[in-house]
Amino acid sequence: MGRREFAVRDIVELYLHWQAGESVRAVARNLGLDRNTVRKYIRAALEAGFAPGRVWSEGEWAAFVQKALPEATDPLARCPAFLEIDRFREEIREAVGTNTVTTVWQRLRDEAGLKASLSSFRRYLRAMMPEVLNRLEVTVWRPEVSPGEEAQVDFGYLGTWVDPAKGVTRRVWAFVMVLAYSRHMFVWPVLKLDLIAWLECHLRAFAFFGGVPRRLALDNLKDGVVKPDTYDPQFNRAYGELASHYHTLIDPCRKGHPKDKPRAERVIPYVRDSYWRGRQFSSLAEASREALRWCLEVAGRRIHGTTRQKPLELFEQEEKSRLLPLPPEPWELATWQKAKVAPDCYASVARSLYSLPFKYVGRTLEVRISQRTVEFYLGEELVKTHPRVPAGRRRTDPADLPPDKIAFYERTPQWCLEKAKELGPSVHQAVLQLLAVNTFYNLRQAQGLLRLGERYGPTRLNAAVSRALAYGDPGYRTVKNILERGLDRLPPDTGGAAEHLSAFLHGKEQFALKEG
């Protein structure tokens, strides 16, 4: 088997299988790797003090890989031949659609001057352009498994159901998890084949069995596997988190090969016929309760055609105690999406807006959304965490905004009133009037008025504001004009003051109109 290029998550997956107690041979077989590759990464872990038998989290493994194996994060940087081949990326993408990999390489070598071997060319395609590489057919032999070792998971169509409450016809599917050893199963009806249903059903199944199988064999559903591939499957990130929390391994089947999980495939027609057909349910809740009863009293007590035993009895006697124990706290249901940081430093997530540090403007981040928090990641780096807010709301951390924007949020109405007291009674009175109505509309005007004190000093500002108040317009521009013309230095009873003010004073009537 040829060399394979890794990303951080690929190596983490290797380590999760290794710490679960799998041998080098088993890890290589299950992940489609060369044994020497597996040995190389295990050797690096052992030299760093890691050892099988103890459980490290997915995050701890990722941190170790990034620190100790930096070359694993950039395929182009760690393989000079890749840089040479990458020059012909577009030509390769077009040519592989009509010619074999070998022919494409040969023509690039002879006609375009490509200086890379055929093996390097194939490795480049696996690492950088896996979607255009024709995969070899692989035969997977699935031997009988030990108790608690494996569960097979699938969605299966049941049929239509008339919702009595709404009078509409709905399509219904069943989530099925079958323990491969005892054939004991969990069934749950759903109306949507989405990620939330997929994750929630797993949590219900683990609670139903009272434990967790060590391996989950599943179809290449998008909710579980984002990109189906025999050699390099990419798992849905939320599903990967669930598996990590429960210390189980995800083992996706090959695309279009249902025989890789025959126990779950074969049971779907049985579930449809025995549990669903010919029955009427008043609600989905009733259908769900009936599914649990059916699993225990019907499917669980039948004589299975292969084992010749009752699945529930075999489960209770031999398999239940061999399942992994449930963790003290259940996994918090979370989903992932991508969000781009807009020029105003906000990203839209689940119809709400959250602020991000302004240096990330224009970047696309991955977002983890739970019931309580929203977390933003750039690769493996946690960028920002916000408490989750209802749809239509905005969550702002002033520290995220550029310095010239922060002042507006820090200098609140209360701050302005406290600062005005320090500058003098007339300034305080003017700020009170400005903020009495349309507070946030006039907030910038109040802030500007206070900034005049930094330039002209509190004594002149207080005198200028006193004069502006006497004429009924303590607005920012009026006070500024008084200061610029030196009218604040005139005695209060100077008759010519009104003439000087007439060019820029709005007057009491205009000021009252503006407040209304």
Q: Return the HEC string of 18-87.
A: HHCCCCHHHHHHHHCCCHHHHHHHHHHHHHCCCCCCCCCCHHHHHHHHHHHCHHHHCHHHHCHHHHHHHC
CA angle 254/132/126 to nearest 5° reads 70
Torsion of CA 219, 222, 226, 232, to 10 degrees: 10
Task: Indicate whether this model's pTM tops 0.85.
Answer: no
- What is the arithmetic mean of pLDDT over 198-220? 90
CB 23: neighbour CB atoms within 10 A?
13
Over its C-alpha atoms, the chain yields an Rg (Å, rounded) of 34
pLDDT band at 232 (very low <50, low <70, confident <90, very high): very low
- Counting Cβ atoms within 10 Å, is residue 224 exposed (0-12), middle (13-18) or buried (19+)? buried
Residue appearing with tokens 């995220």: 400
pLDDT of residue 174: 93
CA 169 to centroid of chain Cα atoms: 33
CA angle 407/408/411 to nearest 5° reads 75
- What is the arithmetic mean of pLDDT over 401-423? 71
Considering only CA atoms, which of 2, 1, 7 is closest in space to residue 75?
7
pLDDT band at 239 (very low <50, low <70, confident <90, very high): confident
Furthest-apart CA atoms within the chain: distance in Å: 112
pLDDT of residue 449: 83
pLDDT band at 411 (very low <50, low <70, confident <90, very high): low
CA 115 to centroid of chain Cα atoms: 40
CA end-to-end span of the chain:
80
CA angle 338/409/416 to nearest 5° reads 170
> Which pair of tokens denotes residue 3?
């060399």
pLDDT of residue 285: 94
Beta bridge partners of 177: 153, 186
pLDDT band at 514 (very low <50, low <70, confident <90, very high): very low
Neighbouring residues of 402: CB distance < 8 A, sequence distance ≥ 6: 345, 358
434-457 pLDDT, tens digit per residue, is: 877 777 677 777 888 888 888 888
Domains of the chain: 8-132 (no CATH), 150-322 (3.30.420.10), 334-402 (no CATH), 411-515 (no CATH)
Instruction: Say if CB 160 and CB 183 are below 8 A apart.
Output: no
Beta strands in 104-182 (DSSP E): 150-163, 168-179
3-class SS at 298? coil
